[in-house]
Amino acid sequence: MLTTIALLDRSCGPVGRPFYFGTARRATLPRGKGFVTVEQAETDWVALMLRVRDAQDKAAFAVLFRHFAPRIKAFLMKSGASAALAEECAQDVMATLWQKAGQFDPARASVATWVFTIARNRRIDALRRSRRPEPEALDWGPDSEPDQAEVYEMAQENRRLGAALATLPDKQRVLIERAYYGDLSHSEIADETGLPLGTIKSRIRLALDRLRHQMS
């Protein structure tokens, strides 16, 4: 099985290219170098996550792990955890991602967002030793999968948001990062982020409206 993971994770050129690498940037990749890293290719995290959710695919999980676990570890260290605790918690978060995969809804959150919420909850639990009250669950019924267009639009919105965050003036971006690392108290957080959140809000709102409609 480990061979399979290695094969999927370091797909060499177009031949061994697994389904979840997008094709958009294939033409621009250098030919003949024989090694495509996950970062260089446009990895379809949603497709991987759905493989985990629907087929308990461990190879897909390994690709997600290699990308997200080191970032969760870094995120938790920025939040004040030691390297050892952060590494342990990063593994817990990835294990939770596997166990709760059934709750992942690509119309309402990107994989990074979903990973973030699990990491945040683990941080509250492990670092702050406090409890987090959650809103009532609002889950898709088993027969009401969101449609592809909705999932695609959500991914686009998240890409735009990431780009907007990257282009914020340093001072502003650092403030936002500190808020999420848990470095700012609620009274230190400003109402104005400088990020264009209106469209992403209204898309999620539409998804919620549809969901409420199905539930009633």
Give the angle 207-208-209 at the CA atoms, nearest 5°. Answer: 90
Touching other proteins, residues 161-180 (CB under 8 A):
161-162, 165-166, 176-177, 179-180
Choice from 129, 167, 169, 171 touching other proteins (CB under 8 A)? 129
Of 17, 124, 145, 153, the one binding other proteins by CB under 8 A: 124
For the chain, the C-alpha Rg in angstroms (whole number) is 19
Span of 19-27, 30-38, 109-117, 141-149 interacting with other proteins by CB under 8 A: 109-117
5 within 8 A of 62, measured Cβ to Cβ: yes
The neighbour count for residue 117, using CB atoms within 10 Å, is 12
Residue position matching structure tokens 């670092």: 127
10 forms part of the interface with other proteins (CB under 8 A): no
Choose, by CB under 8 A, the member of 23, 132, 152, 214 that binds other proteins. 132
Q: Select from 10-18, 23-31, 54-62, 142-150 the region that touches other proteins (CB under 8 A).
A: 54-62
Coil, helix or strand for 21? strand
Our CB check for other proteins shows the closer of 28 and 167 to be 167
C-alpha to C-alpha distances, 133 to 1, 36, 73, 186, nearest whole angstrom: 40, 42, 24, 16
Q: 47 or 124, CB closer to other proteins?
A: 124
Tell me how far apart the alpha carbons of residues 23 and 27 are, in angstroms, rounded to a whole number. 8
Residue 178 one-letter amino acid? R
Interaction residues for other proteins, span 185-214 (CB under 8 A): 185-187, 189-193, 195, 197, 200-202, 204-205, 208-209, 212
Q: Is residue 125 a contact point for other proteins (CB under 8 A)?
A: yes
Is there binding between residue 98 and other proteins (CB under 8 A)? yes
Using alpha carbons, select from 51, 91, 66, 52 the residue that is nearest to residue 10: 66
